[in-house]
Homo-oligomer: A and B are copies of this chain.
Amino acid sequence: MPVEQAVGAWTTIRETIERIAPIPESEWAYACARMRPLSLLKGQHLIREGDRVDRLYFVMEGLLRVYYPTPERELNRSFVFAPRFFTNSISFREQLPSHYAVEALEPTDLYYVTYEMVQASYDRHPFWEHFGRLMAQQEFLQKEWKEWRFRRFSPAEHYQYLQEHVPRLIHRVPLYHLASYLGVTPETLSRIRSRRSG
């Protein structure tokens, strides 16, 4: 990777961290030295069901699809737009096999650090405990709102909400994937869309 790209990447990571809490220089240097790059082509999998996920990823560029693979059909759980941290929290924290799979919907660049490194950081400097708490709390709040949306909105209302608040979802995710996310068939989503605009 050319140097300029790497520098831009690290700026993005640092900004993402500092949106949560300011990071001491020593700890930033420590983290930088331990991040490793990884790239996925469109359609490649980052995680397959059953994998043990022992890495914390930062999605630098691209788009991931998180889905539950069931015998009958795939159920889309979420979509991960760069830039963002991402891991399978259950697998990462509890050392369990992943209950979902993750696929790149676009060519995707990531960095990652290992479980051991994350655990070691907590003993290294109070910043990491602080950051970890704020991060976990923020993740929790996002899930709380998501639960609220899924319970209170009908699929049609939910689609309208996403159109207004997360338009990149409608523009960058194929509609048949979005349909599965909303809990309906592609046919039904198509009819929702035609009812709204027509």
Contact = CB atoms under 8 A, between A and B. Distances in A.
How many copies of this chain? 2
Given A129-B130, A136-B133, A136-B136, A144 B68 contact: no
A147 B143 contact: yes
Contacts of A143: 140, 143-144, 147
Interface string A133-147: 100110111011111
A44 interface: no
A19 interface: no
A68 B99 contact: no
A75 interface: yes
A93 interface: yes
A132 interface: yes
Interface string A87-99: 0011001100001
Given A140-B143, A150-B150, 13 more contacts: A89-B137, A90-B141, A93-B137, A93-B141, A94-B141, A126-B129, A129-B129, A133-B133, A133-B136, A136-B140, A143-B143, A147-B147, A151-B183
